[in-house]
Amino acid sequence: MISLIAAHGRDFVIGKDNWMPWELPRDLQFFKNKTLGKTIVMGRKTFESFKKPLKDRHHIVLTRQTDFTYPGVDVYHDIDTLKHVLKARHDEIMVIGGGEIYEQFLPIADRLYITYIDAAFLGDTYFPNYREAGFVETLKKQGIKDSDNQYDYYFIQYDRQ
């Protein structure tokens, strides 16, 4: 199963200058809980935004940069080859960004884990509009707004029809 996991604001903004334009610790915990022990797929810029690989996850990086390597990380340069490899697997693969990677994987995704943040943000990277892409909402939980999580937000799961 291929799942996309992302947080976005009202206008599908997911990032600005290679970083999220909000702080939402409960979303980071949600991300950790959903991805721990799984294979995570990302673009090079997303990978490089981490100080080091995320613990207890198998990393796959898709990049056009042919000289990119990192110890313990599988690197692919061809989206079709990577899609073929992932579709043959039986475990849940988590696609974690960025915007271009989400766009490429949305057509073959089985599930979306979305943290919807009910606020508008300025950004330069967007999650693709999935509202007419054949997904139905199957789970929705309101997040708790507090001094550390200062936005109204929802954890929403969508499954392909």
* 27: CATH: 3.40.430.10
pLDDT at 47 over 90: yes
**Encoded tokens for 101:** 């990677």
Q: How far is CA 133 from CA 41, 114, 153, in A?
A: 21, 14, 22
Q: Which domain holds residue 147?
A: 2-160
**Encoded tokens for 78:** 């061809």
**Encoded tokens for 148:** 């550390």
Residue-averaged pLDDT of the chain = 96
Report pLDDT for 87: 87
pLDDT at 109 over 90: yes
Count of domains forming the chain: 1
Report pLDDT for 18: 87
pLDDT confidence of 28, banded at 50, 70, 90? very high
DSSP secondary structure of 67-90: T---TT-EEES-HHHHHHHHHT--
**Encoded tokens for 113:** 């884990």
